[in-house]
Amino acid sequence: MKRKRLIWGVVAVVALGALVGYDLLKTPGQSEQVEIVEEFELQPLIKLPAIGPFDLSVNKAVVYLWITAAVLIVFALLVRRSLRQEPPSRFRVLMELLYALAHDGIVGAVMKSGRATWFPYIAGAFFFVLTANLIGLIPLPFAHHHQLGFYTATANLYVTLALALCTFVFTHFAGLRQNRGRYFINWAPSSAPPVLKQLIWVIHSVSEVFRLVSLAVRLFANMLAGHAILAVFFAMALIFQSVLAALVLQGASVLIYMFEIFVAFIQAFIFAILSAVYIGGALDQEH
C-alpha cells in the first residue's frame, strides 16, 4: 500500500516535470534557450497606479501571495467547520497536530512570557510561510507566456523582507512595551565596565539589523536556490537535447523535489522559531 503510493508519487512528479518541460518546449522561439532567471523576474500582470514610491501593480509574486492567503482562509474555514464534527475527522486531527506543533513546538519551546499575546503572529507567520513555500512546489500557469512554472512568493527578497520587518518591528514593540525605558539600556549587560558596555551596545544594535537581514535573506535565498536547482534540472534535459540525459535528470529532480518539500517545511519552522526567539528575547531580557 505504502510502496504503491510512493510509486504513484514518483510517477506524478516525473509526469509533472515532463509537462513543464513540454510546455517550455512548445513555446515558439524559446525551445533551446531556457532562461531560468526569467522565471524569477516580475512583470506586472495588472497595471495599477503607484502611490508615491509604492508601485501597487499586480505581478506574479502578488498573485502567489493572494493564492497563499486564499488557501489559508479556506483551511481556516474548513478547520472551523470540522470542529463541529464529533468524533474528530482525519483532517481535524492533522490540523490539530500542526496547531500543536506551532503552539508547543515553536512558541511553547522558545518563549517564556507573552506566549498568548504573540502566538497568533508567530503561528500565522509559520503557516503563511509554510503555505507559500508549498504552493511554490505546485506548477501554476503564471510563468512567461502563461506557461506552467514553479515560483513562490517567498523566493522574492522583498516579500521575505516585509515578513522579517514584521518580526523586527514586533520584537522592539514587545520589548518596549514590556521593559519600557530599560529596554534599550538592557541591550548591554549592566555588569560590564563602561567602555566595554558601550561597545557591546553598538555591537548589539548592529546585530539587531543583521537579524532582520538574515531572517529575510535566509528564507529568500533558500527558496530561490531550491527553485533554481529544480528549474535547472527540469531545463537541463532541454539544454542537452538527449533522451538519456532527460531520464536521468528527471529521476534526480524527483529527489530534489522531495528535498524541497522538506526545505519548505524547515524554512517555515526556522522563520517562526527565530521570530519567537527574537520576540521572547526582547520580552525576557538579561540584565
Partner 1 sequence: MLAPEPGLMIWTLITFGVAVLVLTVFAFKPLQKALDARRQNIQDGMDAAEAARAEALRLLEEYKATLAKVRGESEEILERSRATADHAKAEIIAEAKSQSERILEEAHEQIERDTRAALRALKGQIAELTALATTKVATSSLTESDQRRLIEEALAELDVEKLGVEGDG
Partner 2 sequence: MDAESAKLLAAGISMGVGSIGPALGLGMLISKALESIARQPEVAGEIRTNMFIGIGVTEAVALYAFVIALILIFVA
Binding region for partner 1 (CB under 8 A) = 37, 40-42, 50, 53-59, 61-62, 65-66, 68-69, 72-73, 75-77, 79-80, 83, 95-96, 99-100, 103, 119-121, 123-125, 127-128, 153, 156-159, 161-163, 165-166
Assign residue 150 a region (left: φ > 0; alpha: ψ between -120 and 50; beta: otherwise): beta
Q: Which is nearer to partner 1, 86 or 286 (CB)?
A: 86
- Measured distance CA(76)–CA(94) in Å, rounded: 13
Name which position in 102, 110, 163, 238 contacts partner 2 (CB under 8 A).
Answer: 110
Q: What's the grid cell of residue 134?
A: 508549498
**Structural contact between residues 118 and 108, judged by C-beta atoms closer than 8 angstroms:** no
Tell me: does residue 109 bind partner 2 (CB under 8 A): yes
Rounded to the nearest whole angstrom, what is the least distance from the CB of residue 77 to partner 1 in the complex? 6
Using CB atoms within 10 Å of the CB of residue 117, give its burial: 0 to 12 exposed, 13 to 18 middle, 19+ buried.
middle
> If binding is defined by CB under 8 A, does position 201 make contact with partner 2?
no
Rule CB under 8 A: choose which of 218, 251, 256, 284 binds partner 2: 218
**Rounded distance between C-alpha atoms, residue 172 and residue 229, angstroms:** 37
Among 91, 277, 284, 285, which residue sits at the site for partner 2 (rule: CB under 8 A)?
A: 277
Name the E strands within the chain.
Answer: 44-46, 50-51, 54-55, 58-59
Report residue 50: phi and psi, to 5°.
-85, 140
Question: At its nearest, how many Å lie between partner 2 and the CB of residue 270?
Answer: 4
Q: How far is the CB of 207 from partner 1 (least distance, A)?
A: 23
User: Where does this chain bind partner 2 (CB under 8 A)?
Assistant: 37, 105, 109-110, 214, 217-218, 221-222, 224-225, 266, 269-270, 273-274, 277
